[in-house]
Amino acid sequence: WPPLAVPIPDLPIPTTLTVLLVTSSVVLQMGVRSARRGDERGLVRWLTITVALGVAFLALQGYDYSRLTFGIHDGIYPSLFYVMTGLHMAHVVGGVVFLSLVLAQARSGELSLDRHEPIEAAAIYWHFVDIVWIALFTVFYVMAQH
């Protein structure tokens, strides 16, 4: 896996993508911790950084797509690659939107020590998206190296 005729993507950009997402999960968890402590400024700071890391992930993945030398119709590996990473990218977009909405709530003072469920829910979603990326990175990039 994959078939020998398929050019395999290089690891540096996908590895950077992985670092961005893992870092964003750590940073987001710091935001959750701030929310649990009632630290609204900390929550806004950590959420802002998380959203920025998510946007950076999307931009870099878009750039990585532009460099690929295979298309979706070039076989089973490229088809699965584009479908799975494309679906993941859509979920990252959804996560960035979700986190941005929570950030807007945090900035407007709607979140507090007593009401911080939105950040908890966003964090669960974001961590799931992160775990899915680690699986995709392992299968489509690391295990694919010949």
Query: What is the CATH number for 65?
Result: 1.20.120.80
Structural domain contains residue 28: yes
Report the pLDDT value the prediction gives residue 95, as an integer from 0 to 100: 99
**Contact indicator for 37, 113 with CB cutoff of 8 Å:** yes
How many structural domains is the chain composed of?
1
Residue 8 has pLDDT above 90, yes or no: no
Q: Which band of pLDDT confidence, cut at 50, 70 and 90, is reported for residue 42?
A: very high
Q: What is the CA radius of gyration of the chain?
A: 17
Structural domain contains residue 43: yes
Report the pLDDT value the prediction gives residue 113, as an integer from 0 to 100: 83
Report the pLDDT value the prediction gives residue 54, as an integer from 0 to 100: 99
Which structural domain range is residue 62 located in? 12-142
- Mean pLDDT within 116-143: 97
